[in-house]
Structure 1
Amino acid sequence: MKFSLIVATKNRVNEVDRFLRSLVAQSYREFEVIIIDQNSDERLVNVVNCYHQEFTITHIQKASLGVSRVRNQGRLLAKGDIIAYPDDDCVYPPDVLAKVAHFFKSSLTWDGLTVRVMDLESDRDAFDYCLQKSGIVDCLTAWSLGIGPAMFFRAELAKKIAFDETLGPGSGTPWGCGEDTDYLLQCVENHAAVYYDFELFVRHPQPYAIYSLRQLAWREFTYGQGFGYLLKKRNISLPTVLYLFLEPMLLMAKYTMVGNFRYALPCPGMALGRVLGYWGGVRKFTKGKLHEFEILSN
């Protein structure tokens, strides 16, 4: 069983090197790496060249912008049995590919696997919304488990399901996130059997540990826009949407009460982003329905 690891990257060098070093340490060696390089310069060439003797690596340079766009490109080039989409700043523990391979070999009924995402430097979750119990992924739990570097899919499924290229960093739209969640939801809606294993994990930097307060505020705003847009795209019920609009302010109150202002201050941006993203979805999808109605009327 062979893995195809599709890495979309832009602006990062040291992080890409760190990820590739983690692959050298893998106990399971049946994998290829496809780096889709969105940089306009040669900054990654020397890094990539250092690993050609270690494993099969394909470096596609000066690719079109957009993480969803280049992942779609990479999945069609993949030659492996299992396709994964590691972030350029994540790290694989030495035994993770061996354990994922064992999972897929031991049960042919599963089409996909998601795992836990742990912080790089500690034994805590990198993101606050990771579920704490293993189980089957459904249309509810997918909202918490749709995290790019944590997902592994059989090639038959991955080549059938495409990322929404209007979502995610570099898409040219305001929807700065949501591509991973949307992808996992698509898989589930297409009757794919996907399992979440709480005991397996990959590592990823904890955002609040590495970004400045200004960067965090912008990140939460742009991610909020993508999340809000996805709520409308997925036709989430209005009461749930209203609660999710309010949720960032509840989080702000909670963090403020315990003196955690670093977590509290980006929350208004998250709330505003969700509202604007949802409204953007309303405008897009309502316009589409009106256009269809006009065509049918004529």
Structure 2
Amino acid sequence: MTSSTGKAAAGIGCALLTLTLLAALTAAAALTSMLPGNGASASPSKQALADIPPAYLALYQRAAPECPGLSWTILAAIGKVETNHGRHPTMRSSAGAEGPMQFMPTTFPAYAYPVPPGGKKPPTPWDPVDAVYAAARLLCANGAKNGKNLRRAIWHYNHADWYVDKVLKTATQYAAATPAPNGAAAKAVAYARAQLGQPYVWGGDGPAEGGFDCSGLTQAAYRTAGIHLPRVAQAQHTAGPPLPNPPPLAPGDLLFYGPHRNNITHVAIYTGGGRAIDAPHPGAVVRETSANTNSRTFQGATRPSATNTGTGGGR
């Protein structure tokens, strides 16, 4: 699409974000500098895939968004240190901690509700779903939210500095290294970062129009790298090239959200470490926030920098 019709459709696409998606996209995902490349959206490393049972890996990834900014790798590292992902023969400590995430029976109820999807009713620390979600909530309550004080949060899980160090080391090992962006992707990310604070403008293509909408920002970012994207989020998603799911994300990748792959309502540009830049909605500004690829509204990613040919539709 081009012309005013395309711009209107682009604005509508961004404006139709659900309240759930808006809330998810506003959640920050910064982790401490002790975890390089280990953002909330980190892909599993080969070590993680070999060591973590698939059901547990999916559960850690699903539960992490319970605490905005918490990486699934932290939950996985705690699960590893505590019971080797539920493989411990008894899963009961000498102090009385129980289940795969080793909760004291007196502590667990404070973090057991609401019962997560697939959890037991009533919840129990012996159930992996209940236990992992409760662990995410406990960490969040003690400093993990938005990466405010991750060390403190882990220390509250087990009051020992050696334990904190071991969890952080394991979490780093579970995260795949973030690929370095190629030249085109680096240019696109640099342009998007330079627009932080610009107003959201419905159908906006840049500062000359007072700001951006979501697809206007990504189109402008890649135009600086000599890659021409279509104007609307749905068309950018279709243009690809697509990445596998879950995607091995690299800076410059485009992230797409919406109720369905054929109903893309939002696009952001990945910046690394589980973060992304987007122009979210009317009344907001261009911002860098959580990529939130664990969201049910996440519909996949593309890598425009993988091609040097234009996809058409750019202005």
Higher strand fraction: Structure 1 or Structure 2?
Answer: 1
TM-score class, shorter-chain normalisation, is under 0.3
The higher-RCO structure (CA 8 Å, 6+ apart) is 2
After TM superposition, the score normalised by the length of structure 1 is: 0.23
More helix by share: 1
User: How does the TM-score come out when normalised to structure 2?
Assistant: 0.22
Larger Rg: 2
